[in-house]
């Protein structure tokens, strides 16, 4: 955009953006406020935008009803391991596909990309049987191994490869003349320059793992092993009805890291994806 908007245009543009924001902000607002309302107020009509009566006991109940701290830790450490692992694998694989000439490199890359086309619902049963035979059912291993070697990592590899291809080859040639071997070039030249892409990969991998739902409910059966998305479904009364305010309190706590990640890293995220040509 060039030039400043006129004051009148500014009002119009900002007004329009505020209206467009409502569908995005309202659910979050509703989730947070409902988590501190008595359950009877949640479905009041018209809805209460600002809660009139506060009930903060919901947050304590979250921890009473389930080993929520343990579950929170499960989600956190699994997401951390998956993120670091994926960044490691995808950056190296992406670099290899971008820069190292080896037989059938392109064919191999195509085959790897095909992994993205298979929905996880298709592979979950075979995976279950494999992990069962390895004695890994009801452990966290599937939640770590499947993303690191599955679709999220493939996507990450694609993003990294595109970024590495776009880096000027001369930089690496200069490094070769300067006396660096392939791995050092990767570590000291290519990887530092690929930080925006790596950041984007880190963010979406973290979010993907944090939000993983199908795999936990298939592979995990004991509550102290649960991850958060799965735990959220467990706040029900004796008849299976949802305890809305408690569930929303748990959901609020679950959403916090996601919000933090987005606020801190949104610029990085968009830059990283923009470079791959995936976004406008």
Partner 1 sequence: MAPVKLANVRKSFGAVEIIQGVDVDIVDGEFLVLVGPSGCGKSTLLRMIAGLESISSGEIAIGDRVVNDLEPKFRDIAMVFQNYALYPHMTVERNMGFSLEHRGHSKSEIAERVQWAAQILDLAKLLDRYPRQLSGGQRQRVAMGRAIVRNPQVFLFDEPLSNLDAKLRVVMRAEIKSLHQRLGVTTVYVTHDQVEAMTMADRIVVMNGGKVEQIGTPLELYDRPANRFVAGFIGSPAMNFLPGTITRAGFEAGGVTLPLPGPIAERDGQDAVYGIRPEHLALDGEGLEAEVLLVEPMGSETQVTLRLAGQQMIAVFRERISARPGETIRLRPDVAAAHLFDAASGARLN
Site residues for partner 1, 134-163, by CB under 8 A, read none
174 sits near partner 1 (criterion: CB under 8 A): yes
Residue of 146, 167, 31 whose CA lies nearest to 94: 167
Q: Tell me how far, at minimum, the Cβ of 189 lies from partner 1, in Å.
A: 6
Q: Tell me how far, at minimum, the Cβ of 44 lies from partner 1, in Å.
A: 56
177 sits near partner 1 (criterion: CB under 8 A): yes
Q: Tell me how far, at minimum, the Cβ of 167 lies from partner 1, in Å.
A: 10
- Count of positions on this chain that bind partner 1 (CB under 8 A): 15
Q: Is 9 exposed, middle or buried (0-12, 13-18, 19+ CB in 10 A)?
A: exposed
Bridge partner residues of 242 (DSSP) = 236
Q: Tell me how far, at minimum, the Cβ of 28 lies from partner 1, in Å.
A: 37
Question: Closer to partner 1 at the Cβ: 31 or 180?
Answer: 180
Q: Tell me how far, at minimum, the Cβ of 176 lies from partner 1, in Å.
A: 5
Which of 11, 60, 108, 178 is close enough to bind partner 1 by CB under 8 A?
A: 178
The answer to whether the CB of 190 falls within 8 A of the CB of 163 is no
Rounded to whole angstroms, the Cα distance separating 31 from 239 reads 23
Residue 100: partners with Cβ closer than 8 Å, 6 or more residues away: 182
177-183: long-range contacts (C-beta < 8 A, 24 or more apart)?
182/100
Question: Closer to partner 1 at the Cβ: 190 or 248?
Answer: 190
Q: Tell me how far, at minimum, the Cβ of 182 lies from partner 1, in Å.
A: 10
168 sits near partner 1 (criterion: CB under 8 A): yes
Rounded to whole angstroms, the Cα distance separating 35 from 58 reads 7
Tell me the backbone φ, ψ of residue 212, rounded to 5 degrees. Answer: -55, 130
Region near partner 1 per CB under 8 A, out of 46-54, 184-192, 204-212, 235-243: 184-192
Question: Closer to partner 1 at the Cβ: 106 or 222?
Answer: 106
Region near partner 1 per CB under 8 A, out of 13-21, 39-47, 70-78, 168-176: 168-176
Region near partner 1 per CB under 8 A, out of 71-79, 89-97, 113-121, 167-175: 167-175
Return the ∠ at Cα 243 (arms to 238 and 245), rounded to 5°.
Answer: 160
Residue of 222, 268, 269, 230 whose CA lies nearest to 250: 230
47 sits near partner 1 (criterion: CB under 8 A): no
Rounded to whole angstroms, the Cα distance separating 221 from 211 reads 18
Rounded to whole angstroms, the Cα distance separating 59 from 76 reads 19
Tell me which residues touch partner 1 (CB under 8 A): 168, 170-171, 173-180, 184, 189, 192-193
């Amino acid at each position: 955009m060039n030039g400043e908007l006129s004051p009148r245009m500014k009002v119009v543009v900002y007004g329009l953006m505020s209206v467009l924001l409502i569908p995005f902000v309202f659910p979050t607002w509703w989730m947070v406020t409902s988590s501190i309302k008595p359950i009877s107020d949640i479905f009041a009509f018209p809805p209460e935008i600002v809660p009139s009566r506060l009930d903060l006991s919901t947050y304590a109940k979250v921890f009473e009803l389930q080993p929520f701290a343990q579950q929170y830790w499960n989600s956190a450490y699994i997401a951390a391991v998956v993120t670091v692992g994926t960044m490691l694998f995808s950056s190296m694989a992406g670099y290899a596909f971008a820069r190292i000439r080896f037989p059938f490199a392109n064919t191999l890359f195509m085959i790897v990309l095909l992994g993205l086309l298979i929905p996880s619902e298709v592979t979950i049963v075979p995976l279950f049987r494999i992990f069962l035979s390895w004695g890994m059912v009801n452990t966290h291993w599937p939640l770590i191994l499947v993303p690191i070697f599955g679709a999220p990592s493939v996507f990450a590899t694609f993003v990294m490869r595109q970024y590495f291809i776009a880096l000027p080859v001369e930089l690496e040639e200069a490094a070769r003349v300067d006396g660096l071997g392939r791995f050092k070039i990767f570590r000291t030249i290519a990887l530092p320059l690929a930080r925006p892409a790596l950041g984007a990969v880190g963010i979406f991998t973290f979010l993907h793992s944090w939000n993983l739902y199908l795999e936990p409910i298939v592979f995990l059966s004991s509550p102290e092993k649960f991850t958060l998305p799965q735990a959220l479904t467990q706040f029900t009364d004796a008849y299976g009805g949802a305890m809305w305010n408690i569930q929303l309190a748990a959901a609020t706590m679950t959403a916090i890291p996601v919000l933090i990640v987005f606020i801190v890293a949104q610029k990085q995220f968009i830059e990283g994806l923009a470079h791959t040509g995936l976004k406008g």
